Structure 1
Amino acid sequence: QAISSFFPSLLSGFEEDIIELLKEDNEVLKEGIAHVLSKAGGNIREQLASSSSVALLLERLCLEGTRKQAKYSVHALAAITKDDGLMALSVLYKRLVDLLEEKKVHLPSILQSLGCIAQIAMPIFETRGEEIISFITKKILDCSDDTAKVSADKSEWGDSSHSCLLKIYGIKTLVKSCLPCKDAQVHPGIEKLMDILKSILTYGDISPNMISSASDKAHLRLAAAKAVLRLTRQWDHKVPVDVFYLTLRISQDDFPQMRKLFLSKVHQYIKERALDAKYACAFLIGIDDYHTPQYEEFQHNLIEVSQICQQVKMRQLSVQADVNLLTAYPEYIIPYLVHVLAHDPSCPNIDKYEDVKAFAPIYW
Structure 2
Amino acid sequence: MSRHSAQHAYINAIGTAVPPHDIHNAFIGWARDRLTDPRSAKLFDRMAARAGIGHRWSVLPVGADGGSPVDPGGFYADAILPGTAARMELYADAAPTLGLAAIEALRAQVDLGGITHVVVASCTGFVAPGIDQLIARRLGLTPSVERLLIGFMGCYAAVAALRTARHLVRSEPAARVLVLCVELSTLHLQDTPEIEPLLAMLQFGDGAAAALVTADPSGFRLGQPFATTLDDTHDLIRWAITDQGFAMHLSGEVPGRIAQALVDPAFAVAATGGRAPQEIDGWAVHAGGRSILDAVQHGLTLPPAALDASRAVLAENGNMSSATLMFVLARLLAGPPIQDGVALAFGPGLAAEGFAFASVP
TM-score for the superposition, normalised by structure 2: 0.29
Q: Which has the higher strand share?
A: 2
Q: Which has the higher helix share?
A: 1
Larger radius of gyration: 1
Query: Larger relative contact order (C-alpha < 8 A, sep ≥ 6)?
Result: 2
TM-score for the superposition, normalised by structure 1: 0.29
